[in-house]
Structure 1
Amino acid sequence: MLNQIKTFIKKRPFMSLLILFILSLPVTLHILFWGLVSIKAPKYQGEIRSDKLSSKATVIRDEVGIPHIVGEDAKSAYFALGFTMAQDRIFQMELQRRIGKGELTEIFGEKLIPSDQFLKSLLLKQTAETYANQTKHIYPEAWEQLDWFLEGVNHFLETESLPIEYTILGIKPRPFDRVDAISFLFYMGFSFAEGIKSDSLYTIMESELVGRSASELFPRYDFEQNASILESQPGIKKLAIQDPKKLNQNHTNILDQKIATKNNGKPKEITNLKQLVEFVSSLQIPIEPLEGSNSWLVAPSRSSSGGAVLANDPHIALSNPGAWYEAYIEYPGYENYGYFLSIIPFPLIAHNRDKAWGLTMLEQDDVNLYLETIEAGKYKSGSTWKELTYYKDEIKKKDGTTIPLEVAITGHGPIITEHIKGYKGRPVSLYWAHHHLENPLLDVLYKMGKSKSFQELDSASSMIGAPGLNFSYADKDGNIAYYAVGRFPILKTGNPRKILEGSTGENDVIGYVPSKNNPKIINPKNGIIVTANNLVTNQSLPGLGKPEGNWQPPDRFQRLVGILETQEKWSLEELAAIQTDSVSSFAPEYLEIVFASVKQPKTLGGKKVLEILKHWNFEHFPESQGAAVYDVFFYITLKELLIDEMGKENFEMYGELAEYWNAYRRFIRNPNSNYWDDLRTSGVVETREDILNRSIEETAKYLEKNVSASPSLWKWKHLYKIKHPHPLGVLPLIGGIFDIGPLPSSGGAEVVNNLKYKLMKEDWIATSGPSKRRVIDYGRFEESLTQLPIGNSGNLGSPFYGNLVEDYTNGVHRKILYSKNQVGEGKYRLEFLPK
């Protein structure tokens, strides 16, 4: 063989060289790629000089890459912060500003035109320009500090190598400005997916259902007890759970309803609404806004250390780099250890030696959709016709050409259907409180960071118009507090959870609950406060009544309450461990019903499913068989229950809402719901028992097909994983270099460790979860703990790229290094000096 190769080389030297070149090409490209990455690696040591600096600032990075910034004045400190963030996150910042302003097409190509059209229709750029260009701001120094921060970012652009993403996309960034920062800050306040999809799908299902009530699919908290923030905290006596036997609904004549005519509705209009939901679901936006979170507070009377404790983990879409940039910043009169959006100089979440605060999404309904009547440039509002106003902009393509864009605006808000290809229904406008209220978010964040007490923090945050947030607060004096911020809109005729008729004026927002009347808890006697995006209160708010919202399922809240009321005192380590708890709180009740209904499965697979469920401890960890079987069974039962009424497309859309989980809790408890009957069968009326028995068998089939023919391999790790996707992860050949994962992990949907996947699409890769975990104990301040999902740096050449992913996956907290003694000399040191 060797002789044959030698002969071939002698006879065909050119061909031989070509073959050798082709064979060596992957290795050559690999070396070139990583060589380029290395050249573009950030420089973490040395000196940075600039004529923008007024004095010295020092950046010391600790062993995991967290920068500790100390400036001799505010200007130098914020310049250093901007430069430092740019070292680690400049490409993320590039995406953030393009999302806020609707400029993704320019770098990603024409497939992003619909996303840009939608983002511009949200008027984020317009409202950012109005706010940033005001002649008088509440706190002028906040805007000065933003400018100093942006000078640091732009100095990085002017003097340093840009990361590999810029080379791959072939783009050169322009300098960052105020509007870049503010437009993205506004974007993070808009959870568009939930409100638009929920209202639209409710309207669709109300029209299409036969012999069924759409309200059963969208129950929110109508039937939940022990699940509201103000009334259901640990230590409060729980109300008796309603007896399922008393939930007596009419279950007769279902067979006749199978052949009944459909509900009244306009089929063409419903088809158009489906286009709206499908359009929103298909948008390609590389950064998702906040969507959930856990938070709890422990008073000194309930903590082992004798100090107040705050625990908080906001839930956001998993990504690479992650949502938060972790940093400490200090200058005369100011210090905070914070979690920043990388395009904003003030932390959204922070702590210092005096106070700590965290946040979760309030989830109140501050978004409504209206069907509009428009003729000749006017829209109907009650008995009058009013002139549309317009926002004009353009979308820039990669080749430099532009597409003009015009957004029509009614009194409710911008028309969001105008640029949906093929949409021919009535125009739909978007009402969002942000468009109608003062919303000085930058001033708020600045003042929060400077505040010295709960009263100052409360006063600052009360200026927020949108989004709705639950704030958690603890301080060195032992105070704990919860307060809701953001405004609750008051509709003239109430909020029916669906698309509203816009022409009559009867569904308009007529005011807002005064911020002073927002829900609040200060130093409660029971000593613990829990929030988890659940119903804020069962009580009426002034002028509003019981608040409406896209409340997340109560499972996490009830699990946290159930844990925290089991002992009097809690240690820092115990509270940190709770953040990675993976117990399904609804499973015991659910499975009790299942075991009473399913006595003897027909197949060996079904028997194995039942056996595994009976021995499961309700935890979701990688080796667990019960977790895999339970979550598949949960899905199969839900599908068998609803697919006949909803159809595949609506069912998948429904899976993107919190409502499916709220509804399922209600369905399982209610054997008399008409939905248990399968419309696909003729002459048979199915019961809850029938569907549960069928689902046990179908679960076995699903696991055998999608996991393993051997039940011993039905383990959570063989079905479920987590992934931190990079925007360039979709590229062929090299895309996988940027993504981190998929990785086996503990966690699941609606457990405290809330790493959620797309259930209705049978996609078991978690797409969102805790974006950081943190426990601040004022009795043991310098031992406080945190986690960051993958690390601080998004630069592929950085030693801190993906360096924390293993700790996050395994649920390992690290100590927050706060004091100068803790930080020491650090791993790297960078000095910023005037030129």
Structure 2
Amino acid sequence: MYHTCKTFLRKRPFTSLFLLFIFTLPVTLHFLFWGLVALKSPRYQGEVRSKTLSTKATVTRDAVGIPHIIGEDAKSAYFALGFTMAQDRIFQMELQRRIGKGGLTEIFGEKLIPTDKFLKSLLLKQSAEKYVSQKNPIYPEAWQQLDWFLEGVNHFLETEPLPIEYTILGIKPRPFDRVDAVSFLFYMGFSFAEGIKSDSLYSIMESELVGRPSSELFPRYDFETNASILESQPGWKQLADNSNPSSKTGSNSDSTNRIETPKLNLVNRRKDSSDLKRLVGFVQSLELPIEPLEGSNSWLVAPSRSASGGAVLANDPHIALSNPGVWYEAYIEYPGYENYGYFLSIIPFPLIAHNRDKAWGLTMLEQDDVNLYWETIEDGKYKTGSVWEELTYYKDEIKKKDGSTIPLEVPITSHGPIITEHIKGYVGRPLSLYWAHHHLENPLLDVLYKMGKAKTFQELDSASSMIGAPGLNFSYADKQGNIAYYAVGRFPILKSGNSRKILEGSTGENDVIGYVPTKDNPKIINPKNGIIVTANNLVTTKNLPGLGKPEGNWQPPDRFQRLVGILETQEKWSLEELAAIQNDTVASFAPEYLEILFSTVKDSKSLGGKKVLEILKNWNFEHFPESQGAAVYDVFFYITMKELLIDEMGQEHFELYGDMAEYWNAYRRFVRNPNSLYWDDLRTVGIRETRDDILKRSVEETAKYLETHVSASPSLWRWKYLYKIKHPHPLGVLPLIGNVFNIGPMASAGGAEVVNNLKYKLMKEDWTATAGPSKRRVIDYGRFEESVTQLPIGNSGNLGSPFYGNLVEDYNLGVHRKILYSKDQVGEGKFRLDFLPK
């Protein structure tokens, strides 16, 4: 054989060289690629000199890459912060400004034109330009500090090698400016995508359902009790079943592995069923570049309930998983100021932070501050009440990769921009978007600046009360022992009352006529029970002045009720116990749900069905990689939901329904209501199914699904073989090299609507988590320098950095790390960069 090959190569030298080239090409490309990555790696040591600076700043990175910035004045500190963020996140910052201004087409090509059109229709750039150009800003120093930060970013662009993403895409960045930063900050305020989808789908289903009330699909909290922030906080009661440690901390008791332009031709059409059907395409198009915050947790513990005797804040806001992650973790100090914060990498002020005096966190309030309106338009005018008003227009353009531009014009009514004109294929009646952001002062940059400067919870409340949108739950704790909760953002008051569907815009009867005064926003300050919990649940069951009971896209109450159930089981809580709760994976609704199942289904005719019931009976309700019960339960949940609704909704609507939290609220109600007409399967003519029938069928179908999609052997029906976690990179879709940038998929603890809320797209049978805790932290003012945190994958998005993906294992294992705050804790550090005058 050897002799034959040798002769072949001797007789065909060209062929042998070609084969040698083919065989060695992958190796050559591998070394070329990683060599280029190394050349573009960030410089973490040495000096940076700039004529902008007049004093010194030092950046010392701790062992995991968190920068600790100390400046001799504010200018040097913010310059250093901008440069440092750019080292780790410049490509993310590039995407952020393009998302805020609708400029993705210029670097990714014409497939992104519809996305850019929609982003520009949100008027983020327009409102940013207006905000930036104000003559009398609330806090002029906030804008000055933003400029110093941007000077640091731009100094990086001018003097340092850019990461490899720029080479791959062939782009050269221009300097960053104020509008770049603010437009993306406003985009992050665009947290109501679920409201757009849910209102649309409600209207669609209302028109299509026959003999079924659409309200059952969108119950929100109509049938929930003990699930509101103001009325349902935990006390302290000793429970009879309080002996199981897993009921407190979510420990892994079923596994040995502890996984801690030209005018547009706007044609008016009457609303009919065809308009509603066309809405499906509109809703499907709302795939945003960065999905909104959803499903976050926060709780506060007063000194009376804290083992350390200090106030404690625990917070884990949830957002779409990505590489790099949403938060940039950094400490910044200069005379008169210090904060350890979690920043959007294009903004110099932290959204979430703490120092020796105070700490604050946030979750989404989820109040309904967005509406969709059917508009009546003729000859450039829109009907409002008995009069016709002229449309106004926002003009812009979309830049293409070849340098050419596409003119764009966004029509605007008194409700807001018309967002359907640029939806490809949509020919229905025009829809406008009402968003409180467009109608109120919303000085978000000034708010973030002032919150960082605030000395007391009254000052922080005063600063955050300036927010018009989005709605936020602020949690606060300080070294004096105060804890406080504030509902932030405005509650619109509609003339016709609250609504859950698309409104008729031409009559004027559904218009917003005012807002609940900020002084009447719900809040809790130093409650006697000593604990405050929020989890995107209903804010209050009480009426708010002028509004009545608030409406919102409230997330399911499972996490809130689980947290309340844990925190009321003992009087005092330690830092370690509170950190463990953040990793809790217990499905709080499962015991009630399975009790109904077992009372109905005693046995199964098939071996697979018998195994499903056996596993569920022995399950401890936790979601860890080795768990069989987690895999079986979540599949059973999905199969039952599908058997329940697919006949009424169809596959297309069913998948859309799965993109919003409402299906979980509805499911809780359906399971508890055996008399719902939805249990009857419309596909079986002449037969009327009951809840018992659907549950029995679902047991059998669950076994079939697991046998097909996981394993024919029930011993391998484990969570880790079904469920994964992934942090996708924007270039992760590229052939050959895309997976170099992605982190995952990997096995992990967690699941949907557990405290460790790593959510997947259930209705699409995609078991890869797409959203989850974007950071976790516990700040204990009784043990301040022992406070802890988690960051999902690490601080750096630069592939050549040693801090790229360096924390992902800790995140998957649920391991908290100590927050290094003081100079003594940080030490000299391995990496130190000095910023000096030129």
TM category, shorter: over 0.9
Alignment-derived partner of residue 358 in structure 1: 361
Distance across 1 between alignment mates of 2:347 and 2:610 = 56
Alignment-derived partner of residue 216 in structure 1: 216
Distance across 2 between alignment mates of 1:508 and 1:634 = 39
Q: Which amino acid aligns with 1:548?
A: E
**Is it true that 1:488 corresponds to 2:491 in the alignment?**
yes
Distance across 2 between alignment mates of 1:511 and 1:483 = 21
Q: Is the 8 A contact 2:710 2:717 kept in 1?
A: yes
Instruction: Note the alpha carbon deviations across 1:425-475, whole angstroms, 9 max, x for none.
Output: 110000000000000000000000001000100000000000000000000
TM-superposed deviation, 1:72: 0.1
TM-superposed deviation, 1:286: 3.4
TM-superposed deviation, 1:599: 1.1
**Is it true that 1:617 corresponds to 2:620 in the alignment?**
yes
Q: Is the 8 A contact 2:236 2:570 kept in 1?
A: no
Distance across 1 between alignment mates of 2:384 and 2:830 = 63
Distance across 2 between alignment mates of 1:433 and 1:267 = 29
- Aligned residue runs from structure 1 range 175-574, under 5 A: 175-235=175-235, 266-280=272-286, 283=287, 285-574=288-577
**Kindly tell me: are residues 225 and 413 of structure 1, through their superposed partners in 2, closer, same or farther at Cα, counting changes over 3 Å?**
same
TM-superposed deviation, 1:10: 2.1
Alignment-derived partner of residue 257 in structure 1: none
- Aligned residue runs from structure 1 range 796-807, under 5 A: 796-807=799-810
Runs ≥4 residues deviating over 6 A = none
Distance across 2 between alignment mates of 1:525 and 1:371 = 48
Q: Which amino acid aligns with 1:422?
A: G
Alignment-derived partner of residue 121 in structure 1: 121
Distance across 2 between alignment mates of 1:557 and 1:181 = 34
TM-superposed deviation, 1:236: 8.3
Alignment-derived partner of residue 601 in structure 2: 598
TM-superposed deviation, 1:279: 1.7
Q: Is the 8 A contact 2:93 2:346 kept in 1?
A: yes
Distance across 2 between alignment mates of 1:4 and 1:563 = 74
Q: Is the 8 A contact 2:419 2:431 kept in 1?
A: yes
TM-superposed deviation, 1:54: 1.7
Partner secondary structure for residue 542 of structure 2: coil
Q: Which amino acid aligns with 2:486?
A: Y
Stretches of structure 1 that go unaligned for 5 or more consecutive residues are 239-263
Alignment-derived partner of residue 32 in structure 2: 32
**Percentage identity across aligned positions?**
85
Distance across 1 between alignment mates of 2:191 and 2:505 = 22
Distance across 2 between alignment mates of 1:403 and 1:423 = 19
Q: Which amino acid aligns with 1:552?
A: Q
Q: Is the 8 A contact 1:87 1:156 kept in 2?
A: yes
Distance across 2 between alignment mates of 1:600 and 1:772 = 43
From 582, 585, 591, the equivalent of 1:579 is: 582
Q: Is the 8 A contact 2:193 2:292 kept in 1?
A: no
Q: Is the 8 A contact 1:310 1:472 kept in 2?
A: yes
Q: Is the 8 A contact 2:237 2:569 kept in 1?
A: no
Distance across 2 between alignment mates of 1:424 and 1:39 = 51
Q: Is the 8 A contact 2:779 2:788 kept in 1?
A: yes
Instruction: Note the alpha carbon deviations across 1:479-523, whole angstroms, 9 max, x for none.
Output: 000011000000001122000000000000000000010000000
**Is it true that 1:649 corresponds to 2:652 in the alignment?**
yes
TM-superposed deviation, 1:424: 1.3
Q: Which amino acid aligns with 1:494?
A: G
- Aligned residue runs from structure 1 range 779-798, under 5 A: 779-798=782-801
**Is it true that 1:713 corresponds to 2:719 in the alignment?**
no
Q: Is the 8 A contact 1:286 1:727 kept in 2?
A: no
Q: Which amino acid aligns with 1:467?
A: P
Q: Is the 8 A contact 1:85 1:342 kept in 2?
A: yes
Distance across 2 between alignment mates of 1:289 and 1:169 = 26
Instruction: Note the alpha carbon deviations across 1:599-641, whole angstroms, 9 max, x for none.
Output: 1211110010001000000000000000000000000000000
Instruction: Note the alpha carbon deviations across 1:559-581, whole angstroms, 9 max, x for none.
Output: 00000000000000000000000
Partner secondary structure for residue 111 of structure 2: helix
Q: Is the 8 A contact 2:200 2:283 kept in 1?
A: yes
TM-superposed deviation, 1:291: 1.9
Distance across 2 between alignment mates of 1:582 and 1:77 = 40
Q: Is the 8 A contact 1:314 1:772 kept in 2?
A: yes
Distance across 2 between alignment mates of 1:69 and 1:406 = 44
Partner secondary structure for residue 339 of structure 2: strand
TM-superposed deviation, 1:642: 0.4
Greater shift after overlay, 103-112 or 598-607?
598-607
- Aligned residue runs from structure 1 range 820-835, under 5 A: 820-835=823-838
Partner secondary structure for residue 645 of structure 1: helix
Q: Is the 8 A contact 1:55 1:73 kept in 2?
A: yes
Alignment-derived partner of residue 247 in structure 1: none
Alignment-derived partner of residue 822 in structure 2: 819
TM-superposed deviation, 1:766: 0.1
Q: Is the 8 A contact 1:78 1:152 kept in 2?
A: yes
**Kindly tell me: are residues 491 and 756 of structure 1, through their superposed partners in 2, closer, same or farther at Cα, counting changes over 3 Å?**
same
Distance across 2 between alignment mates of 1:106 and 1:322 = 23
TM-superposed deviation, 1:527: 0.2
Distance across 2 between alignment mates of 1:9 and 1:752 = 64
- Aligned residue runs from structure 1 range 147-162, under 5 A: 147-162=147-162
Distance across 2 between alignment mates of 1:495 and 1:476 = 40
Distance across 1 between alignment mates of 2:6 and 2:709 = 50
Partner secondary structure for residue 611 of structure 2: helix
Distance across 2 between alignment mates of 1:45 and 1:79 = 16
**Is it true that 1:637 corresponds to 2:643 in the alignment?**
no
TM-superposed deviation, 1:287: 2.3
Q: Is the 8 A contact 1:208 1:265 kept in 2?
A: no
Distance across 1 between alignment mates of 2:829 and 2:600 = 61
Alignment-derived partner of residue 63 in structure 1: 63
Number of equivalenced pairs:
807
Q: Which amino acid aligns with 2:15?
A: M
Q: Which amino acid aligns with 1:276?
A: F
Distance across 2 between alignment mates of 1:613 and 1:341 = 42
**Is it true that 1:15 corresponds to 2:18 in the alignment?**
no
Q: Is the 8 A contact 1:583 1:620 kept in 2?
A: yes
Q: Is the 8 A contact 2:236 2:568 kept in 1?
A: no
Partner secondary structure for residue 292 of structure 1: coil
Q: Which amino acid aligns with 2:739?
A: G
TM-superposed deviation, 1:288: 2.2
Distance across 2 between alignment mates of 1:828 and 1:162 = 20
Alignment-derived partner of residue 165 in structure 1: 165
